[in-house]
Amino acid sequence: MKVLVINAGSSSLKYQLYDMTDESVLAKGLVERIGMDSSIVTHKPTGGTEVTEVSEILEHTTAIRKVLSLLTDPEHGVIGSVDEIEAVGHRVVHGGEYFGESALVDGDVKTKIRLLFDLAPLHNPASMMGIKAAESNMNVPQVVVFDTAFHQSMPEHAYLYAIPRVLYSKHKVRRYGAHGTSHEFVSKTAAEFLNRPIEDLKIISCHVGNGASVTAVKGGRSIDTSMGMTPLEGLMMGTRSGDLDPAIVPYVMNKEELTVNEVNSMLNKHSGLLAISGISSDMREITDGMQKGDANSKLAFDMYEYRLRKYIGSYAAVMNGVDVITFTAGVGENSVVLRKKVCENLTYLGVELDDELNEIRSGEPRRISTANSKVEVLVIPTNEELVIARDTNRIVQGLMS
C-alpha cells in the first residue's frame, strides 16, 4: 500500500509518500508560504534531484493538488497515477481526551478535532485544513495520528494541575503533553534494540530539538511528560521558556503593559536559547558561540542542559529508577557535547558514558553507554512520519480485511 503522510501547518504543508511494502520513502517535500504572495514548493524524489518552484498557492487544497501533480509528474514524479495512493495519514497536534490512539477520519472525528480548536488554536485548525484539502482532492481513507495520544495513559496525579478543579471539569485544563508519536516510537525502538520486553523497562525518553520534551515511559506507557496543557511547559527550548513561576506572567504584563497575545508571544517565540544567548535559537550556533568563548552562549547551553538533567532526575524519582535513557531529535541525535554534559552528571544513577561511542555520528539506533553502565544510554533517531504511515496502513488494512 502507498500512503501519503501529511503534516499541515497554518502556512505550510510537509509530505512524504511511503511504499509500505518495504516502508521506503518514495518522495518527500514541503510547501511553504501558503496564502502569501509567493509560495515555495520543494519536492525531492528519493534518489532523484530536488526541485524547487515558486508559485501562487492561496490555500491548502491547492497545495495538495500541487503535491499530487509533482508526485505524478513525468520528470520528477514517483507514481504513474494518484490512484496508486490508497490512504492518507495526517499528523494532528491535539487529540485532547478524545483520542488515546490514531483514528480513521469520519464526521465524528472531525467534530472532535474542531472541538479542540480552543486548546490548540495554532495547530488543530491547520490540521483540519490538511484533512479537508486531502478530502477534496482524493477519495481514499484518511487516518489521524495525534501528538498527545501516547500521553493519555498518564495517571490523574500526573496530568492534573493543583488549581481549582472546576477549571478541569469546565475547560479541560490539564497536562496533555506532546511529541507522543516520537516518544512512543523511540521507546519501542529502544526495547527492540536492547532485545528486552518493553513491559520490563523504565525509560526516560528525551526528545530534544527546537521543541523539547522528556517523558517517563514505564512498561511501554507514558506516565509523565514535561510538556503541559500546551507545548510551552517543561524544558527550555529554542524560543520557548519552558517552566517558570506562573506569577511572572501577570507581573510582567503589569510592568511592561503587555497584552495576553504579547506575553504569549514573548514566552513562545522570544524566550529559550534565543533570549539567553541573544544570538540564536539554533543549538549549532550556540555551541559554536560557546566554543569561541561567548559567555551568553555558554549560559544558554548550560541552562538548556541543566533543565534537561533536572527532568531526568525527577523522572528517575517518579519511576523509582531508570533502565534506559534515550536521546532523539535535532539536538539529542547530533549534539555530542550536550549528551556528554548531561551524562557526566548522572553518575549517581549509575550512568557511565562511553566517550568514543558518543562521538560516533550515525543515523542508526546506537548505544553510547559503557558495558558497565547500570543505565543503558541510547541515541535513537526519531521518525514520526513512519509512525503515521504505519498507523495509517494498519488502520486502513483493517478496514479492508
Q: How far apart are CA 390 and CA 387, in angstroms?
A: 5
Please select the residue that binds ligand ADP; options are 95, 180, 238, 289, rule is CB under 6 A.
Answer: 238
**Min CB(187)–ligand ADP separation in Å:** 17
CA distances to 104, 146, 225 from 101, rounded to whole Å, are 10, 7, 17
241 binds ligand ADP (CB under 6 A): no
Please tell me the count of residues contacting ligand ADP according to CB under 6 A. Answer: 13
Judged by CB under 6 A, the chain residues 75 through 134 that form the site for ligand ADP are none
* DSSP H helical ranges for 224-294: 248-256, 260-269, 272-277, 283-291
180 binds ligand ADP (CB under 6 A): no
Contact of 213 with 207, CB cutoff 8 Å:
yes
Q: Near ligand ADP by CB under 6 A, which window of 12-20, 194-202, 206-214, 263-271?
A: 206-214
CA distances to 180, 212, 283, 395 from 329, rounded to whole Å, are 13, 8, 12, 27
Please select the residue that binds ligand ADP; options are 9, 29, 45, 211, rule is CB under 6 A.
Answer: 211
231 binds ligand ADP (CB under 6 A): no
Nearer to ligand ADP, 335 or 392 (CB): 335
Q: What is the DSSP letter of 369?
A: B
**Min CB(384)–ligand ADP separation in Å:** 9
What does the CA dihedral 164, 169, 171, 175 come to, rounded to 10 degrees? Answer: 80
Record the cell numbers describing residue 117, joined without a space. Answer: 480548536
- Give the active site residue among 37, 83, 108, 147: 147
Please select the residue that binds ligand ADP; options are 63, 133, 329, 387, rule is CB under 6 A.
Answer: 329
Residue 261: enclosing H or E segment and its boundaries? helix 260-269
Please select the residue that binds ligand ADP; options are 4, 120, 145, 283, rule is CB under 6 A.
Answer: 283
Contact of 120 with 136, CB cutoff 8 Å:
no
Please select the residue that binds ligand ADP; options are 330, 358, 367, 375, rule is CB under 6 A.
Answer: 330
**Min CB(330)–ligand ADP separation in Å:** 2
Q: Near ligand ADP by CB under 6 A, which window of 90-98, 209-217, 223-231, 347-355?
A: 209-217
Please select the residue that binds ligand ADP; options are 137, 335, 358, 393, rule is CB under 6 A.
Answer: 335
Active site residue 147: yes
Q: How far apart are CA 289 and CA 298, in angstroms?
A: 7
Neighbour tally for 250: CB within 10 Å? 10
Q: How far apart are CA 377 and CA 354, in angstroms?
A: 9
**Smallest Cα–Cα separation from 27: which of 45, 1, 52, 5?**
45
Q: How far apart are CA 135 and CA 61, in angstroms?
A: 9
Q: Near ligand ADP by CB under 6 A, which window of 47-55, 117-125, 130-138, 207-215?
A: 207-215
What residues are labeled active site? 147
Binding site for ligand ADP (CB under 6 A): 209-211, 238, 282-284, 287, 329-331, 334-335
